[in-house]
Amino acid sequence: MMKIGFIGLGNMGLGMAANLVKAGHQVVGFDLSKTAQQSARKGGCEIAKDINTAVKDSDVVIMMLPNGSIVRKVCEEAFFWMVPGTLMIDCSTIDVETARDLVAEARNQQIDMIDAPVSGGVGGAAAGTLTFMCGGTSEAFARAQPILETMGKNIFHAGDAGNGQVAKICNNMLLGIHMIGTCEAFNLAQKLGLDAQTFYDISSTASGQNWSMTSYCPAPGPVESAPSNRDYQPGFTAAMMLKDLRLAQGAARTARTSTPLGAQSEAIYSLMEAAGKDGLDFSGVMKLINGSL
Ligand code: NAD
């Protein structure tokens, strides 16, 4: 049993912290939101009054926070109170640069740190079936692995610091691109008189086949479990996709490389945001493409 400080008990953090409790760990959580605090208490966490109390004599500290600037701010305080040898795991999705800076700062204070962003969403967090993509030293990863296994099913070591974030944003950029492409194909097929089911039956066994089509079809009908059959209720929101696409574009600029379709995808999901429809599932970009937004 370990003492684990957990900062950020929102939609994702709540389920993750509850799974650590179920595995027998003592979890001391901290969140600015009273509602989050209350839910985490129900999930078996102790609630600290500040960051200092949550991290001070914890063996491990986990963060699940909205963005890089918040993670940086929390780290500034947490690093001050954490003792050398503590393991820090950042599960938030943040920019690659900040992730790398923070791992370097942690190393200066003899804190082992990894970036470990996730995929699998709120359902995966609650069920303990998340995928973790980790960046950091092999030693830090080896320490983190058994803890991550209590919250997830697939745990990958993607290489050095920041590589977890790289894997996450590159995967989601590809997802955004093939979701939009899939929407375009279904829309064009329908406008030309080919119904969604027939196009699905053909394309899902032909070379256009992809995950957005077969697991998450943006056209209502062919895939029963897809958000398109529930008026695009999320799921994974367009706002979250946009966050990841923006991170990917920032990273592409830093790397001085061009991602033309990633840039287009960001622009298209920005239109969802501008229309006030970014609370829809990301497959709801179908409505933008077919003119029903
Ligand atoms: P959320 O907004 O529900 O939770 C974030 C929590 O952090 C909130 O409860 C908020 O009060 C708390 N917080 C903010 N600033 C804080 C501070 N300074 N100190 C302590 N607590 C603070 O967000 P979420 O959906 O749980 O997402 C968390 C992270 O996981 C994000 O980086 C997101 O991109 C990533 N993610 C989310 C999903 C998803 O489906 N929700 C999937 C994969 C990855």
Q: Give the pLDDT confidence of 16-48 residue by residue, as tens digits.
A: 999 999 999 999 999 999 999 999 999 999 999
- Work out the burial of residue 8: count CB atoms within 10 Å of its CB; fewer than 13 is exposed, 13-18 middle, 19 or more buried: buried
**Neighbour tally for 69: CB within 10 Å:** 12
Binding site membership of 236 for ligand 1 (Cβ less than 6 Å):
yes
Buried b (16+ CB within 10 A) or exposed e, 263-286: eebbebbeebeeeebbebbbbbbb
| The pLDDT of residue 201 is above 90 | yes
Q: Give the residue range(s) of CATH 1.10.1040.10 domains in the chain.
A: 166-289
d(CA 221, CA 267): 28
Q: Would residue 168 show up in a list of annotated catalytic residues for this protein?
A: yes
131 CA to centre of ligand 1 in angstroms = 17
Average pLDDT value for residue range 266-289: 98
67 CA to centre of ligand 1 in angstroms = 8
For a ligand 1 pocket test, name from 39, 64, 75 the mutation site with the most ligand atoms within 8 angstroms of its C-beta.
Answer: 64
| pLDDT tens per residue, range 143-194 | 999 999 999 999 999 999 999 999 999 999 999 999 999 999 999 999 999 9
Q: Order of strands, edge to edge, in the sheet holding 112-115?
A: 46-47, 26-30, 3-7, 60-63, 87-90, 112-115
Catalytic residue among 168, 243, 277, 287: 168
2 CA to centre of ligand 1 in angstroms = 23
d(CA 117, CA 169): 10
Residue 228 C-alpha from the chain's centroid: 21
Binding site membership of 122 for ligand 1 (Cβ less than 6 Å):
yes
Binding site membership of 12 for ligand 1 (Cβ less than 6 Å):
yes
The architecture (CATH level 2) of 166-289 comes to Orthogonal Bundle (1.10)
| The pLDDT of residue 214 is above 90 | yes
Q: Are 288 and 243 in contact (CB under 8 A)?
A: no
91 CA to centre of ligand 1 in angstroms = 10
d(CA 112, CA 141): 9
| The pLDDT of residue 235 is above 90 | no
Superfamily of domain 3-160: NAD(P)-binding Rossmann-like Domain (3.40.50.720)
Q: Are 140 and 114 in contact (CB under 8 A)?
A: yes
Enter the DSSP assignment of 135: B
pLDDT of 144: 98
Q: Which residues 6+ apart lie within 8 Å of 166 measured at CB? A: 96, 135, 158, 251
Strands 130-134, 118-119: pairing is antiparallel
| The pLDDT of residue 5 is above 90 | yes
Binding site membership of 267 for ligand 1 (Cβ less than 6 Å):
no
| The pLDDT of residue 73 is above 90 | yes
Mean per-residue pLDDT over the chain, rounded: 97
d(CA 51, CA 28): 10
Q: Give the residue range(s) of CATH 3.40.50.720 domains in the chain.
A: 3-160
